[in-house]
Structure 1
Amino acid sequence: MEISTLLSFSLILSLSFTSRIQGFEPSPAPRFVSSLAPGSPSYYSQAPDSGGTPAPAANDVSPPSPTLSFPPSLAPVPVTAEKVGEVAVAPAPEMEGSESFKGIGPSSIQEAEESGVQMVRWCTLRQNNEDCQLLVIALNQSNEYTWKCVQKDTAQECLESIKKGEADLINLEAGMAYVAFINYSMKAIANEVYCDHAKSYQAVAVVNRKACKENKGISLMDFEGHKSCHGGYSTAAGWNYPINHIKESLDSQKMNEREIAAGFFSKICAPSEFEGSGICSGCGNENGSCHLNSPYFGDPGAFRCLVEELGDIAFMKADTVLLYSMEGPHNQSWSSKSVRDFMYLCPEGGCREINDYPGSCSFGAVPANVIMASNSLPNRKRLFILQTLTNATLLEALHAGKYGASPLLSPSTQQIAVVKKLTRSYLGMSASISQSTQQLYTPINQTAPSTASPVSDMGSQSCSCGQNSLVVTLFSVLTMLWLLVFTPI
């Protein structure tokens, strides 16, 4: 009788330990995104990248950024609109699509206040601040929040300010948006929309018409040893897409992006939004530096580089020549040539007239410029931002010239739309190309980050739990054997 009691007690004890270790307790049911109509509050309040880590997919790996050294992300701090400024213990990450808006951000998120009015702070470059103030006039139509321009010298400083909680928003092209997503834990909340409701643009190469006439079958490979102009280092259309194409054409898998570019072109003008990372041998300056203040920065700058014959080929958005040529609506003092003086260069060979629709004569489609925000932006503020930016009256006022041109939006922007996808999904192929290009620049002696997916992490945890359970079970069996042997009958 005593043996039976002891055996029963031992068995119950082992099962109890096993249950606790393996976590047999019922888990809460996951929450899924429901189908909501545009315009409803919940439509705006869904967080495309909820959770502290912006890694929605198994293949959404965060590679090291090329030549850039960024500080590590800060600890996750959940924030709600009702408790702005309070610091709480970060819970376990929630499923993608959760209605709550938690993420990685500063340890204390205290919204800026001025005269008791909460602020929405849009980070802009210092040279654009005067124009930004004109846009703020159009945006400040509500008493709930006041819009404000935060002046910084570089986009890098803007990203740092957003990470520290000193600013809220910045508008970035796809290549830089990927850097903000990977290195600053930011998320896409809204995107530009262009003519015919387009939410992407084409990345193209532009050359002088004379080069096309002299060689009917000319291709990008024929420009090896020539001078190149790029809209920006690490930008999608200006750098990532063409360099990735050259890499694949040359089968240069073991070379980094700078080696590929420097080995292919004789001189390069690729200004950068990050200090010290531009490639400036072809920018026409003696000190070899090129940053945001370079006259050859951005898509207009790449075209200017070609117009002023600093380069033989330029990489940019497809509509750049139409906008900034002599006949273009945004022509500049340097716009001394006609759109008819240039042609699209098809990557696989041949040329095509410039008409904003290059079709197959491009490196591919790039997602529209996207408004990025901190992953810790409160729901209430994000809802207000999206409702304001998607207001048709605002865009009509901007296009009517009432408040002047905005440096915060592309010249071809027709409206703003809410990003309903996860940031990695929105960036799509552009993110894959950015990741591939940036991985090329990983130093050989640098250890690559872990590529283990959440699935594999869960598997390892399950294995550990199973091992602990086995130990407890074996202990119980040994206990029963000991009782059988040493207990008197």
Structure 2
Amino acid sequence: MQIVTVILIVFSLSWPSLFHPTLQDIVPAPAPVNGSDGGPGTGPTTSSSPSPRSSGSPAQAPDVEVGRHFVADVAPAPALDGGGSGPPPEVVVAPPTPVVEKESESGTVSWCAVRDEFEDCQNFISLLKWTDGYIWKCVQRRTTEECLDAIKNNEADLINLDPGLAYIAFLNYSMKAIANEIYCNHAKSYSSVAVVNRKVCEENHGISVKDFKGRKSCHGGYSTATGWNYPVNYLKGLEDLNRSSDREIVSGFFSSVCAPSEFKGMGECSGCGNDNSSCSTSYHGHLGAFRCLVEELGDIAFTKEDTALLYSLEGPYNKSWSTKSINEFMYLCPQGGCREINGYPGNCIFGTVPANVIMAHNSISSEKRLAVLQTLQNATWVDALYSGKNGNGHLLSSSAQGLAAVKKLTRSYLGLSASISQAIQELNVKEVPATPSTDNPASDVSSATLQVFQQQWLVALFSLLLGIL
């Protein structure tokens, strides 16, 4: 009888371990997959993505509109009660908070104008025929980055972006493309080219980009498609530079670089004039890159195929600095050699770039989006805007001749440009070594095996006891 008593005591002490696993045996549930916003006019998801200055690894953007944070807000799991019995507590999931426009701005469409675009913006919107009762106005900010923040904070609605910056707006600011520019012959894309002085082409008929190593370069803007991303994508293929950042690639190849940035602290300004500590807005954009070449601050300019034609001495939009003839310049082909500048570079390009896009926040309502598109496609405004009065390329490109609604998801529309942007962001990610675990996996396995053996032994002993009784 004493033996039976001892067995019962041992069994009672071991009882909880039979039916209530320890904390180490509980496997945490996988993190929730981030949500995504798939269609026009829907609200944003809650997600986080690295800014252009981030060191986090940029995940590949899905072919959907995404929000600013990758991990959804989830109610914390209830604390474990140490193995008590009873039904689990009910989990209450709060309904998503609807995105509501500010009441005072609900009937307003605000276009964000960067710097000196503001005056032209006011002139342009005065020509619009407003639809559905929306009142249009201009909002001025100092940089594109500030405009993106304004749209995120519901202080503005629209901005026109080059595909490189559009990818950043899509990935980091929960924005989507709603309209794209149309160019000559109904084109919805343009070419990324390099322009150099004719003299260097005549001196070396087989000249290539490699011959410009150690020379000075002009770029329309950091992270822009034509001015930066496409050239960097080409340069990193010339040498084993895949482990370098984009700025290291460019500054390591050229002796000085002029690449103004719309994002604070991201410009490369060693070649932008006397003050190397700042990037002058005088050399911003496609015409700025060409101006940098004309003023001999650089030896090669990365820009659009028609920029030299538009802003040379004979060009329709020539400026006070346009002191050189178009005949003094040529296209530099990536495969080697040069080509006359006539607006049709053929295969003498670094890639085809999708047309610039008008971007809005994912939360824009379908009604407002439709009203915006109807207004922007108004014939009166189009005629006024594209009749030679937009030489500064404000709000829309100087070569734009119309607008069309974007019918694809933003990532699909940006296509190759988005893939190149993503690849360049991955160049800038510093590899973070994994933190070694302090746990001993072998010890965990041994402990779990021992616990299973103990439980099996107790069950067998209990069965034997019942047989004796």
For normalisation by structure 1, the TM-score amounts to 0.70
Match of 1:439 among 417, 426, 438: 426
Which residue of 1 is the match for residue 335 of structure 2? 348
- Cα–Cα, structure 1 residues 406 and 213, in superposed 2: closer, same or farther, change >3 Å? closer
- Cα–Cα, structure 1 residues 218 and 369, in superposed 2: closer, same or farther, change >3 Å? same
Match of 2:372 among 358, 380, 385: 385
Match of 1:129 among 94, 97, 118: 118
Q: CA deviation at 1:344?
A: 0.4
The letter of the residue matching 1:323 is L
Match of 1:275 among 264, 270, 278: 264
- Cα–Cα, structure 1 residues 75 and 260, in superposed 2: closer, same or farther, change >3 Å? closer
User: RMSD across aligned C-alpha pairs, in angstroms?
Assistant: 3.1
The letter of the residue matching 2:432 is N
- Cα–Cα, structure 1 residues 150 and 209, in superposed 2: closer, same or farther, change >3 Å? same
Aligned counterparts of 2:188 and 2:46: Cα–Cα separation in 1: 22
Aligned counterparts of 1:440 and 1:332: Cα–Cα separation in 2: 37
Which residue of 2 is the match for residue 243 of structure 1? 232
Instruction: For structure 1, list consecutive stretches of 5 or more residues without a partner in the other structure.
Output: 1-45, 56-61, 78-87, 92-101, 448-481
- Cα–Cα, structure 1 residues 402 and 222, in superposed 2: closer, same or farther, change >3 Å? closer
Looking at CA atoms only, which structure, 1 or 2, has the larger radius of gyration?
Answer: 2
Aligned counterparts of 2:419 and 2:250: Cα–Cα separation in 1: 19
Which residue of 2 is the match for residue 333 of structure 1? 320
Aligned counterparts of 1:143 and 1:72: Cα–Cα separation in 2: 30
Q: Deviation digits for residues 215-251 of structure 1, max 9, x if unmatched?
A: 1011111100100000100000000000110101213
Contact kept in structure 1, 2:176 and 2:361, CA below 8 Å: yes
Contact kept in structure 2, 1:347 and 1:363, CA below 8 Å: yes
Match of 1:109 among 95, 101, 107: 101
Aligned counterparts of 1:322 and 1:185: Cα–Cα separation in 2: 36
| Aligned counterparts, 1:417-428, within 5 A | 417-428=404-415
Q: CA deviation at 1:255?
A: 1.0
Which residue of 2 is the match for residue 173 of structure 1? 162
Q: Deviation digits for residues 346-403 of structure 1, max 9, x if unmatched?
A: 0110111111111110001000000000000011110100111122332123234689
Q: CA deviation at 1:445?
A: 3.2
Aligned counterparts of 2:390 and 2:421: Cα–Cα separation in 1: 35
- Cα–Cα, structure 1 residues 413 and 403, in superposed 2: closer, same or farther, change >3 Å? closer
The number of equivalent residue pairs is: 373
The letter of the residue matching 1:336 is T
Aligned counterparts of 1:355 and 1:63: Cα–Cα separation in 2: 41
Which residue of 2 is the match for residue 376 of structure 1? 363
SS at match of 2:235: helix
Aligned counterparts of 1:370 and 1:208: Cα–Cα separation in 2: 31
Aligned counterparts of 1:402 and 1:305: Cα–Cα separation in 2: 23
- Cα–Cα, structure 1 residues 137 and 402, in superposed 2: closer, same or farther, change >3 Å? farther
For normalisation by structure 2, the TM-score amounts to 0.73
Aligned counterparts of 1:49 and 1:250: Cα–Cα separation in 2: 44
The letter of the residue matching 1:109 is E
Aligned counterparts of 1:225 and 1:445: Cα–Cα separation in 2: 32
The percent of aligned pairs where both chains have the same amino acid is: 60
- Cα–Cα, structure 1 residues 140 and 75, in superposed 2: closer, same or farther, change >3 Å? farther
Contact kept in structure 2, 1:64 and 1:439, CA below 8 Å: no
Q: CA deviation at 1:406?
A: 6.6
Which residue of 2 is the match for residue 89 of structure 1? 95
SS at match of 1:138: coil
Which residue of 2 is the match for residue 229 of structure 1? 218
Which residue of 1 is the match for residue 26 of structure 2? none
The letter of the residue matching 2:415 is G
Contact kept in structure 1, 2:46 and 2:72, CA below 8 Å: no
Q: CA deviation at 1:74?
A: 10
Which residue of 1 is the match for residue 53 of structure 2? 67
Aligned counterparts of 1:418 and 1:134: Cα–Cα separation in 2: 23
Aligned counterparts of 1:362 and 1:166: Cα–Cα separation in 2: 39
Q: CA deviation at 1:285?
A: 2.9
Aligned counterparts of 1:222 and 1:250: Cα–Cα separation in 2: 13
Q: CA deviation at 1:339?
A: 0.7
Does residue 182 in structure 1 map to residue 199 in structure 2? no
Aligned counterparts of 1:191 and 1:54: Cα–Cα separation in 2: 27
Does residue 364 in structure 1 map to residue 351 in structure 2? yes
SS at match of 1:201: strand
Q: CA deviation at 1:140?
A: 4.2
Contact kept in structure 2, 1:140 and 1:147, CA below 8 Å: no
Contact kept in structure 2, 1:65 and 1:438, CA below 8 Å: no
Q: CA deviation at 1:112?
A: 3.6
| Aligned counterparts, 1:470-481, within 5 A | none
Which residue of 2 is the match for residue 298 of structure 1? 285
Aligned counterparts of 1:427 and 1:413: Cα–Cα separation in 2: 18
- Cα–Cα, structure 1 residues 49 and 344, in superposed 2: closer, same or farther, change >3 Å? farther
Instruction: For structure 2, list consecutive stretches of 5 or more residues without a partner in the other structure.
Output: 1-37, 57-66, 74-93, 435-461
Q: CA deviation at 1:174?
A: 0.4
Which residue of 2 is the match for residue 395 of structure 1? 382
Aligned counterparts of 2:46 and 2:316: Cα–Cα separation in 1: 39
Aligned counterparts of 2:53 and 2:391: Cα–Cα separation in 1: 37
Contact kept in structure 2, 1:243 and 1:261, CA below 8 Å: yes
Aligned counterparts of 2:51 and 2:213: Cα–Cα separation in 1: 26
Aligned counterparts of 2:246 and 2:302: Cα–Cα separation in 1: 16
Contact kept in structure 1, 2:160 and 2:395, CA below 8 Å: yes
Q: CA deviation at 1:286?
A: 2.2
Aligned counterparts of 1:129 and 1:239: Cα–Cα separation in 2: 26
Does residue 318 in structure 1 map to residue 305 in structure 2? yes
Contact kept in structure 1, 2:131 and 2:374, CA below 8 Å: no
Which residue of 2 is the match for residue 477 of structure 1? none
Which residue of 1 is the match for residue 137 of structure 2? 148
Which residue of 2 is the match for residue 139 of structure 1? 128
- Cα–Cα, structure 1 residues 346 and 282, in superposed 2: closer, same or farther, change >3 Å? same
The letter of the residue matching 1:220 is V
Q: CA deviation at 1:408?
A: 0.6
Which residue of 1 is the match for residue 28 of structure 2? none
Q: CA deviation at 1:172?
A: 0.1
Contact kept in structure 2, 1:220 and 1:349, CA below 8 Å: yes
SS at match of 2:107: strand
